Structure 1
Amino acid sequence: MQGVLNGFTTIGVVIAVGALLAHLRIVDLGAQQVLSRIAFFVASPALMVITLSRADVHQVLSANLVASVAGITVAAGTYIVLARTLWHRSLGDTTIGALSAAYVNAGNLGIPVASYVLGNAAFVAPTLLLQLLVLQPLALGFLDADAHGRSRWWQLLTRPFRNPLTVGSLVGVVLSVTGWTLPTVAAAPLGLLGDMAVPCMLVAYGIALRLGPGLGRAGSAAELACTSTLKLFVQPVVAWFVASVLLGVEGHALLAIVVTSALPTAQNIFVHATRYHRATVLARDTILITTVGAVPVILLVAAVLG
């Protein structure tokens, strides 16, 4: 359990640094925008190249993937139905809300949790690749379409592949599948740039927490409760049901699937929300609630299934 606590503590400390810098007026919301842009356009794509080039993409074809898809689909789908019929949200706001309800922190939190709690970082690879190669490009396509108005079908299909995060992900997958290794002259600067991604995201998030509207003050409390409940409870329960009842997964493999699904909403959803100016407060608040709430949830899952 120490690995879970260490992972959450590390994230919390870096977020607190961003909030402290804002509180001391060393930085302002302009700095938060700059950090988010650096993370979106430079650091995160570099991180994706390095991370995916080292991943085993063949692990995507597993029970882990099937259960992960089911959990994401039910959580995101439930929010989409409610957002469009009950809250009447726009396409962009609905997309960010769906990501908040279903997109897990498989990178900077999932990897250490998988390493220390599950004993193998590879357990998070299927979810990581699914999100980077399918869910994220699809969501970014919708966000781009919402930001730029109506587009022709070919523009909608090709726009995600002009997004730096998608390009970085695809390059990483090609390197993994082919076994090619980047020369040091390329790998070293990419690794250095990629190392900025998580700190930039977390510090920017801390600034927004301190200088933005208070928790729940700039949005629907019911909507926030919905995204948080879907992420913390519905998604892992659906993943458990599919893996255990339908696919017959048992033991440590089942624990890995449920723990991965119970991870909190990823910080990069806040980066996307900021970049496209859609549902920023909802993303921020959901990340905060699920990051805090995931600690007891994952500890409970580990106690029951471990």
Structure 2
Amino acid sequence: MSGLINAMEGFAVIGIVIGVGYVAARMRIGGPQAQMVLNRFSFFISSPCLMFATLSQQELSTIFHSSIIVAFLSAFLVALAFFLLNRAFFHMDLANATVGCLNSMYLNSNNIGLPVATYILGNPGLVAPILVMQQALFTPIALTTLDIATSGKASAKKILTQPLHQPLLIGSLGGILVSWISSQAGTFIVPNWLFDPINMIGESAVPMILMAFGMSLHGSRPMGKDSDRSATATVVVLKNVAMPIIAFLLAYFLMGFRGTTLYGCVVLAALPCGQNVYNYAARYNVGMRFARDGILLSTMTSPIIIALVALLLG
């Protein structure tokens, strides 16, 4: 029970930082461009540093744990479900549909996943496979799609070179490379005078993303008249309900996981949608309200789902 309480405290911390962003926007601190500046700085600088610092210190066996198969398939299936539902009912364009797929599948593996993995599962390294999967696979695909959908241009060269323009992917792959070289050398190869500033900058990513998200709430009404309530409710159900169920079925029957590994797969699948999705939507100025509403409702309902999973499997 104490572990569950500590995890809920993690949600409270996130809510407070979002609230600070809202108050800052209400008081006009930073001016009208503050939200955009925070989003861009996090996207291009802080978040890549965070991914590098996090992954470079993880062992490769942890980064590529077999649970990544469960995380990949469950995320892929809920994204596919939203894509098909969009074709049948919502009829969003490609850019907004991409935001919807991300809302359905993208896990908040940093600022919620880390405390949940630490306090409920007892191993913060369990989020490493999710970090790799999202930053090295799903994020480049989604951002490439958004880039093409918003620019209206598509070419083989543009698609092949797009990953080179994604700071998050570069930071993630750099961290994995350092982890591998360090394992071969038997010691961490990055000197403290270089790693410490990278880590310091990376630690600013989460609060900046959360405060920018809070700023976006000022002057707007979540699930207002202009929002697509049906699509938003759909992505929240897919993310918070369908994904943990799919993860349980895959982990139990396909992978044969039991005990803490099974429990970890389901709990992590029940994490809310990550604020990164709003950061990506803001980067391309598309689907921002859709992303914001989905993240907000997912974050509000996720603690209930995680508590139920803890009671059933913990």
Give the alignment's TM-score, normalised by structure 1. 0.95
- Corresponding position of 2:28: 25
Instruction: Specify the SS of the correspondent of 1:211.
Output: coil
Match of 1:43 among 46, 62, 68: 46
2:236 pairs with 1:228: yes
- In structure 2, the residue matched to 1:126 is 129
Alpha-carbon spacing, 1:28–1:282, altered in 2? closer, same or farther (3 Å): farther
Q: 2:190 aligns with which of 169, 182, 186?
A: 182
Shift of 1:164: 1.2
- CA–CA distance in structure 1, aligned partners of residues 115 and 198 of structure 2: 21
- Provide Cα deviations, 1:118-167, integer angstroms capped at 9, x if missing partner: 00111111112111111111111111212222221122121122211111
Q: More displaced, 152-161 or 96-105?
A: 152-161
Q: How does 1:240-259 map to 2 (within 5 A)?
A: 240-259=248-267
**Where does residue 298 of structure 2 map in the other structure?**
290
Q: Which of 93, 96, 108 is the matching residue for 2:96? A: 93
- Contact conserved, 1:29 with 1:207, CA < 8 A, in 2? no
Q: How does 1:45-60 map to 2 (within 5 A)?
A: 45-60=48-63
Query: Which whole-Å CA distance do the structure 1 matches of 2:178 and 2:68 have between them?
Result: 21
**Which deviates more, 151-160 or 45-54?**
151-160
CA 1:297/1:28 → structure 2, altered by over 3 Å: closer, same or farther?
farther
Q: Which AA in structure 1 matches 2:212? A: A
Please, which moves more after superposition, 221-230 or 2-11? 2-11
Q: C-alpha displacement at 1:302, in angstroms? A: 0.7
Check conservation: 2:223, 2:229, Cα contact below 8 A.
no
1:140 is matched by which residue type in structure 2? Answer: L
Secondary structure class of the residue paired with 2:33 = helix
Stretch moving more, 252-261 or 137-146: 137-146
- Give the superposition deviation at 1:183: 2.2
Moved more, 26-35 or 264-273: 26-35
**What CA deviation, in whole Å up to 9, does each residue of 1:52-83 have, x standing for no partner?**
11122333544411211121011111111222
Q: CA deviation at 1:203?
A: 0.5
Q: Report the CA distance between 1:186 and its aligned residue.
A: 2.1
Deviations 1:265-287 (A, max 9, x none): 00111100001011111110111
1:220-248 CA-partner distances (Å, limit 9, x unpaired): 11000110000000011000001112222
Report which stretch shifted further, 290-299 or 213-222. Answer: 213-222
Q: Does 1:279 align with 2:282?
A: no
* % identity of equivalent residues: 35
Counterpart residue number, 1:161: 164
Q: Per the alignment, do residues 131 and 57 of structure 1 end up closer, same or farther by CA in structure 2, a change over 3 Å counting?
A: farther
The C-alpha deviation readout for 1:168-216, integer Å capped at 9, x for no partner, is 1111111111115222332122112111100100000111012334434
The yes-or-no answer on 1:108 pairing with 2:116 is: no
**Corresponding letter in the other structure for 1:57:** L
Contact 1:137 1:161 in 2 (8 A): no
**2:226 is the counterpart of 1:218:** yes
SS in 2 for 1:249: coil
Unaligned runs of 5+ in 2: 183-187
| Alignment check: 8 A CA contact 1:218 1:281 kept | no
Of 222-231 and 21-30, more deviation after overlay is shown by 21-30
Between the aligned partners of 1:104 and 1:42, the Cα distance in structure 2 is: 21
Structure 1, unpaired ranges of 5+: none
Structure 2 length-normalised TM: 0.93
Contact kept in structure 2, 1:79 and 1:98, CA below 8 Å = yes
Among 15, 19, 23, the alignment partner of 2:18 is 15
Q: What corresponds to 1:75 in structure 2?
A: 78
CA distance in 2 between counterparts of 1:241 and 1:221 reads 29
Separation (CA, whole Å) in 2 of partners of 1:21 and 1:194: 22
Q: Which moved more, 1:185-194 or 1:264-273?
A: 185-194
Answer whether contact 1:57 1:126 (CA < 8 A) is retained: no
- Is contact 1:49–1:168 with CA below 8 Å preserved after alignment? yes
Q: Is the 8 A contact 1:57 1:129 kept in 2?
A: no
Q: Distance in 2 between matches of 1:56 and 1:89?
A: 41
